[in-house]
Structure 1
Amino acid sequence: MKIKNCSIALLLLLGTQICNAQLIDKLKKKAERAAERTVERRVERETEKKTDQAMDSVFGSDKKKTKKEKKSSKESSGSSSSSTKKGQDIVTGSSFFPNGDILFSDDFNQDNFGDFPANWDTNSGGEVIKVGQNKAFKLNPNGTYSAKTNKLPENYALEFDLVTENLDYKGLSGSQFGINFSSEQTLNRPKNGGKFSFSLWKGSTVCNQINVQNWGKTNAKIDNNIPFKMQEKFNTTTHFTVVVNGNRLRVFIDNEKAIDLPSFLSNNFGNYIQFYLKGTDPKENHIAAIANVKITEEGEDLRSLILKGGFSTTKILFDSGSDKIKKESYEFLDKMAKVLQDDKTLRLNIIGHTDSDGDSVKNMTLSKSRAAAVMNYFIDNKGLDKARFMFQGRGENEPVAENNSAAGKAKNRRVEFQKI
Structure 2
Amino acid sequence: MRILFIVSCLFISFFVNAQIINPKEVAKRKAQDRTNGAIDRTLDKGLDKVEEGIGNIFKKKEKPEKEEKTTKKTSSKKTENEESEETEEAEESVTNNKNNTKPASKSSSESSTSQPKSSMKSYSKFDFIPGEKVVAVEDFEQDAVGDFPAKWNTNAGGEIMTIDGQKGKWLKASDRGLFFPDFVNQLPENFTMEFDMMISEDVSQNMSGLMVFFPEISKRKPTFDANFSTDPQVGFDIHPMPDQGGSTSSAWVFDKNNEKILENTIPFSWKDGEVNRVSIWRQKTRIRLYVNETKVWDLPRAFDPTLKYSMLFNNNLFAGANFITNLRIAEGAPDTRNKLITEGKLVTRGILFDVNSDKIKPESYGVLKEIGTVLKENPAVKVKIIGHTDSDGDDAKNLDLSKRRAASVKNALSAEFGIEATRMETDGKGETQPSDPNTTPQGKANNRRVEFVKL
Kindly indicate which of the two structures has a greater share of residues assigned to strand. Answer: 1
Question: Looking at both structures, which has the greater relative contact order when contacts are Cα pairs under 8 Å and sequence separation is at least 6?
Answer: 2
Structure of higher CA gyration radius: 1
TM normalised by structure 2 equals: 0.43
